[in-house]
Amino acid sequence: MSLIKAVMFDLDGVIVDTSNHHYLSWKKLCLELGYNLTETGNEFIKGLSREDSFLKIIDMANISFSEEKFKEYLIKKNSYYLNLIGTITPKNILPGVQSLLGYLKKKSVKISLCSSSKNAKLVLKKLDLISFFDFIIDGNDIKMSKPNPEIFLTASKKLKTEPRDCLVFEDSQSGIDAANNAGMIVVGIGNKNKLKNSEYCFPDFLKIPDHLKKHFFNEEI
């Protein structure tokens, strides 16, 4: 009997390294606006919606724009991003992700994508992963950006699973906070010295399977 009934995956930085593509696109736009967005600054916007990311950048850079310019810059950032992801293929899927998805399918665990990105379906299609997911929720479907728990709570309702029976994989602090706010078990993917409030944290998916099978699926290892 599995302890976990549904697994929710973030996309950027969890399934594929497009968090870097987002960073490079914001960095390019910021340089045009006279602001140097560093990797440290990027940690504050990681996981946020496009709009909230830009609001945070505006705050960090101490600049301001008309609403018209704001929208114009968001379109520009997205065009930089679309250009960068133009060449991604299944080869860009992060190591260990496909075998974990296969394992969860065999276990009949429900799988959801919970991404703040409005480009999530496009990216999943490019990666040829759409068929693994029972439910996909992205930036087009939610009103409140992570760390608000809306995205995870919506997915758990859709999958008819209690939040406490859901496991979330997240690489951003805002995503980890959102999963905790939803009352779910969260596994951080990344540097455990940088990610706070995740009970479990692994540098990547290659280190996870045994731990996951033993602790969340009651398997003897």
The residue within the footprint of ligand BG6, chosen from 16, 35, 53, 136 (CB under 6 A), is 53
Structure tokens at 139: 């930036």
| Dihedral angle sign, alpha carbons of residues 82, 87, 91, 94 | negative
* 173 interacts with ligand BG6 by CB under 6 A: no
Q: How far is the CB of 54 from ligand BG6 (least distance, A)?
A: 9
Taking CB under 6 A as the criterion, which residues in 125-144 touch ligand BG6? 139
Binding mask 67-86 for ligand BG6 (x = CB under 6 A): -----------x--------
- Tell me: cis bond preceding 95? Omega within 30 of 0 counts: no
Q: Which stretch binds ligand BG6 (CB under 6 A): 44-52, 61-69, 94-102, 198-206?
A: 44-52
Q: Which stretch binds Mg ion (CB under 5 A): 12-20, 127-135, 198-206, 211-219?
A: 12-20
* 49 interacts with ligand BG6 by CB under 6 A: yes
Q: How far is the CB of 135 from ligand BG6 (least distance, A)?
A: 17
The verdict on whether 52 is a catalytic residue reads no
- Specify the DSSP class assigned to residue 155: H
Q: Which residues of 180-206 are buried (b: 16+ CB within 10 A; e: fewer)?
A: bbbebbbbbbbeeeebeebebbbeebe
The verdict on whether 141 is a catalytic residue reads no
Tell me which amino acid residue 146 is.
Answer: K
Specify the residue for token string 């293929």: 89
The residue within the footprint of ligand BG6, chosen from 11, 97, 111, 153 (CB under 6 A), is 11
* 10 interacts with Mg ion by CB under 5 A: yes
Residue 52: is it exposed, middle or buried by C-beta count within 10 angstroms (0-12/13-18/19+)?
middle
* Helix (H/G/I), strand (E/B), else coil: 43: helix
Q: How far is the CB of 87 from ligand BG6 (least distance, A)?
A: 16
Q: How far is the CB of 109 from Mg ion (least distance, A)?
A: 21
The residue within the footprint of ligand BG6, chosen from 5, 21, 27, 50 (CB under 6 A), is 50
- Residues 211, 219: Cα–Cα separation, whole Å: 10
Task: Tell me if 198 sits within 8 A of 184, measured CB to CB.
Answer: no
Q: How far is the CB of 85 from ligand BG6 (least distance, A)?
A: 9
Reference 186, options 173, 203, 167; nearest CA is 167
- Residues 10, 103: Cα–Cα separation, whole Å: 18
Residues involved in catalysis = 10, 12
Residues within the interface to ligand BG6 (CB under 6 A): 11-12, 19, 22, 46-50, 53, 78, 115-119, 139, 172
Residues within the interface to Mg ion (CB under 5 A): 10, 12-13, 171-172
